[in-house]
Chains A and B, each alone.
Chain A
């Protein structure tokens, strides 16, 4: 066997590794879980990762107060219970919560508007970390600002904990619509467009050249049924996060499996009809029009 000696030592934490890892979640479902037992149910149902947190967004809404990073012990228990990647949330701008999660070996960090922001002006400089980050975005400018800070994955914000998909649809259509509009523009207009979008110029150029975000783009916030999940895939997203939608329903195991199948077979209406049958009651849900502005989580993030 011809062996040339390794002239370079292995590199870790590179953009290729962080963004490449995010690619592996595509066509999959990432599920919020609050206990090791729920994590096991999610893994057995075919989740590609679990998001470990103390309270799902629906309960954060109900309980009120300040929502923070979860207890590292609880996150470690979930990491020990499953073999799939484990994600966890930090407050927007909370650099130290992120360092703690990186230290315990969490696979992905969600700098999330679902928790109470720690900084009302600045996000974490995510390029400083070996662990990859996912961030929410309502529009293209916000998505590219987060990528500029080093996010390896973008998701819609939706309106978490409502079981109402309308905001996730709005954010997906906005981001993808703005990408299509950007592509139609000639190159000399991109600098002014970058100014209007409040986005880094080189990333605007990237979107113009490739017709997509530089990182994977997932749906999140309000997805409660297999049909909701397939709708987000139809709109052109790469995969879905399901928060309260699974473990706040009457038959989480069955619903989790159905949503996993719906994301793979989103183009196959026969499969969608079959998996949508007899799932029991979904989470109750909230009409977003009835939320007062302070109750809207999607407005958090700058």
Chain B
């Protein structure tokens, strides 16, 4: 059932596992918009960038001019969560870009970390493992599929989970990045966390609008885990 108190959340629906995120969000009562063009961002409090192929999604973001609208969405208070390929799109820099692109792959730079594509190997090396996540009581069933590693986490970002000494979940302000696929497991805890980030940021923006608080760094607007 739709809960109208919850903010509307978008899922970038260019390619990949966007329906799975949509299904989890809807099971939590959230109204979901599939985002394919810049105009689809209107009225959203948060946006999930799903798993899929980062090079395919980047190509489609080029074709329909989504890069700047997504940065504007973030700048105006939108929360973002990238899972796997989505985390690659959010990163500051991308290692392991296609050789033919001269090792360069475009990314949004909305979270202060790098990513290394396919860091855990090819599909035959894909794995699932119970993952200890900071702030969660019990391990999270994490599914890693040709997963990237989060590398070079800057001072602004906070590490929330590691696997074999590699960072796989991190947060900076209202941006969350993970190397695995919470949408495939039926465990909704990380989706709930993201919704709380969206809700708190929207509440803060409303208070700013009403003049009840002054502008403050977004960092403090996210829930403590």
Contact = CB atoms under 8 A, between A and B. Distances in A.
22 contacts: A6-B132, A7-B130, A10-B144, A11-B128, A12-B125, A16-B128, A21-B123, A21-B126, A23-B184, A24-B84, A25-B53, A27-B15, A43-B98, A44-B101, A81-B99, A83-B97, A83-B117, A84-B55, A84-B98, A105-B122, A107-B124, A264-B13
A40 to B, nearest CB: 5
Nearest to B132: A4
Contact of A48 (B52, B98, B144): B52
B60 interface: yes
A8 to B, nearest CB: 6
A160 interface: no
Nearest to B59: A46
Contacts of B59: 44-46, 257, 260
B16 A27 contact: yes
Given A12-B125, A43-B55, A83-B97, A2 B134 contact: yes
B124 A24 contact: no
Contacts of A26: 15-19, 52
Interface string B106-145: 0000000000011000111111111010110001000111
B146 A28 contact: no
Contact of A46 (B56, B143, B181): B56
A13 B59 CA distance: 30
Interface residues of B, number: 48
Contacts of A20: 17, 143, 145, 181, 184
A261 B14 CA distance: 9
B28 interface: no
Interface in A102-147: 102, 105, 107-108, 130-132
Contacts of A108: 123
A135 to B, nearest CB: 17
A264 B14 contact: yes
A48 B124 contact: no
Given A6-B129, A257-B59, 11 more contacts: A2-B134, A20-B143, A23-B20, A24-B84, A28-B15, A48-B56, A83-B117, A84-B53, A85-B53, A85-B122, A107-B124
Interface residues on A, range: 35 or more
Nearest to A28: B15
A48 B52 CA distance: 8
Q: Across chains A and B, which 3 residue pairs bring their CB atoms closest together, nearest first?
A: A46-B59, A10-B127, A107-B123
Interface of A: 1-14, 16-17, 20-21, 23-28, 40, 43-49, 81-85, 102, 105, 107-108, 130-132, 257, 260-261, 263-265, 268
Nearest to A129: B124
A1 B136 CA distance: 11
A249 to B, nearest CB: 19
A13 B129 CA distance: 12
A12 B36 contact: no
A130 B144 CA distance: 14
B69 interface: no
B11 to A, nearest CB: 11
Contacts of B132: 2-6
A57 B128 CA distance: 36
B156 interface: no
A44 B62 CA distance: 12
Nearest to A44: B100
Contacts of B117: 83
A261 B96 CA distance: 24
Contact of A21 (B13, B14, B63, B146): B146
B18 A27 contact: yes
Interface in B160-194: 181, 184-185
A10 B128 CA distance: 5
B60 A46 contact: yes
B148 to A, nearest CB: 11
Contacts of A3: 132
A12 B129 contact: no
